[in-house]
Chain A
């Protein structure tokens, strides 16, 4: 596709349920990033992949959050046993690869998660 796509665009769930958020990066992009953005703030890093390898997961808030990218393309961010504090916009970005000249990250439209 022309850009990064994310699904669903909106997700409403009840506290305690598990949710899975999907990111489809720009075709050919090696690197994929997950961020979380609160209202009125900039995106906050969660985790990062090169191909299928998770390179950095230092931003994941706790062990209820996990991410995978099994075939080096589509990625899924999973939140188990959701809590109200997990409500936020979750954004995915992709870039060509881990070199200075190809490090521009392009963002998707995000998934708005609301936990009731």
Chain B
């Protein structure tokens, strides 16, 4: 069974204070690792898909990286609008359902 563990559960940052979120996973053959952002009361919003170890993707202040056992979401010089819950999910080979972690709730103070 696919498993995803995210840490920390919560992260409080000062505006401009860079940090990283961790997503550890176990899956029998990775088809893709997905990062989503979720704002309160809304559905998850797609950010990135990573397919193979060593792959990196960037979007504004966010950068996602992937190894064979974990993924990191780096937030560089965050702003208050980056406050959200960030969800990590994996899908195994020949499997299209996503297995999610519990998420990391990021709060950025001005």
Measured CB to CB, the residues of A under 8 A from B are 4, 31, 33, 35, 40-45, 48, 55-56, 59, 91, 93, 95, 98, 100, 103-110
B96 x A48 contact (CB < 8 A): yes
Which A residues touch B91, using CB under 8 A?
103
B99 x A105 contact (CB < 8 A): no
Which B residues touch A33, using CB under 8 A?
96-98
Which of B31, B43, B97, B103 contacts A42 (CB under 8 A)?
A: B103
The number of chain B residues with a CB under 8 A from chain A is: 23
For window 17-75 of B, CB contacts with A under 8 Å fall at: 31-32, 34, 36, 42-46, 49, 51
B31 x A107 contact (CB < 8 A): no
Which A residues touch B44, using CB under 8 A?
43, 91, 107
Main secondary structure of the interface of B (DSSP, over half): strand
B97 x A40 contact (CB < 8 A): no
Interchain residue pairs with CB less than 8 A apart (22)? A31-B96, A33-B97, A33-B98, A41-B103, A42-B4, A42-B101, A43-B44, A43-B87, A55-B96, A103-B31, A103-B32, A103-B49, A103-B91, A103-B96, A104-B49, A105-B34, A105-B46, A106-B46, A107-B36, A107-B45, A108-B43, A109-B43
Chain B: minimal CB distance from A48 (Å): 6
A45 x B43 contact (CB < 8 A): no
A42 x B87 contact (CB < 8 A): yes
- Among B32, B36, B44, residue most surrounded by chain A Cβ atoms (within 10 Å): B44
